[in-house]
Amino acid sequence: MTTFLQLHFLTSYPPACLNRDDLNRPKTGVMGGVPRLRIASQSLKRAWRTSEVFKSALSNHIGTRTKRMGIEAYNKLRQGGVGEEDARNWSKKIAVVFGKLKSANQDNPLNDLEIEQLAHFSPEEQSAIDTLTETLIREQREPTGEELILLRERHKAVDIALWGRMLASAPLFGKEAACEVGHAITVHKVAVEDDYFTAVDDLNRREEDAGSAHIGEQGFAAGLFYLYVCLNRDLLIENLDGDTGLSNNTIKALVEAAATVAPTGKQKSFASRAWASYILAEKGTRQPRSLSVAFLKPVKNDDMLQEAIQKLEETRTHFDTVYYGHEREISLPSESLNALKGTGNLNTVLNFIIS
């Protein structure tokens, strides 16, 4: 039976623009018939995998997502004394292993060394590319077919293990994601506001023009967000080539990052850093379910966080009662952290999910 880890977070952000749409305004979504603030899962995952939490806990096990590996190889070859034409041809042979190359572009002479879509490279694959380029520099020759077998089916890139990889040109080397991340959404109705701001020129002596040197506008909003994360623990271990220790470290880093790391959008303007005020962690073999329905009717009370926690816990109990009320243990084993009441702690939650 598959073991699932389910994580529920409530995090309150002050006025912010953490994740923007194409109009430079905070992303939103309609739920329960009313507008809510939204943080896309892509934004959250990017913030977590590039965070210091991940880097310190999972050093040497984080992949690189890029289109530019061919350009990187070209630059290394040129720096190593390989001629321009050979460096271009050899780096193309390396890059095409990971995807279809772009067409030549007069505005960017190295454009045809990029692949068309982002590819996620494991550290093992990056190491293989580095070793190959060093060999080509040392021996001043083009790569052979056998040397261009650079993709690795088995590797220990934790971000690929968590969130998967799709390589259309080489599906054998794809990876099914072990972790599902929902879009964070506010538990209450939200109206996006506009910040009209100006900037003054320090060298303007106000002799001719006393006005501002710049005028701008920025959308923002504050909100209490619900976030749901579901992790297939067995698949994560499989994706990491059976390394249980690395899997446990990955799970702990994921939970800590989800609880403490905010997306970086407009951070310098809003300082909108926040830690989760409430975490509920569950584990078991039952079919997973989000508890977002707890907030289908938006929270309205003045004590918003307390009401949100109460709704979340009540919804969990009601689901367990109607679906598993016939069993002796109707609720999944769980641990929680409640910063509002000062109960529970992060270490207890982390130790519970890896036990």
Residue 318: pLDDT band with limits 50, 70, 90: very high
Q: Are 338 and 344 in contact (CB under 8 A)?
A: yes
Residue 292: pLDDT band with limits 50, 70, 90: very high
Q: One-letter amino acid identity for 91? A: S
Q: Is 234 helix (H, G, I), strand (E, B) or coil?
A: helix
Residues 6+ apart with CB under 8 A from 163: 45, 49, 177, 179, 181
* Global confidence as pTM: 0.93
> Using one digit for the tens of pLDDT, what is the confidence trace for 81-125?
999 999 999 999 999 999 999 998 888 889 999 999 999 999 999
User: Per residue, what are the HEC states of 172-232?
Assistant: HHCECCCEEECCEEECCCCCCEEEEEEECCCCCCCCCCCCCCEEEEEEEEEEEEEEEEEEE
Interval 58-82 mean pLDDT: 96
In whole angstroms, what separates CA 309 from the centre of its chain? 25
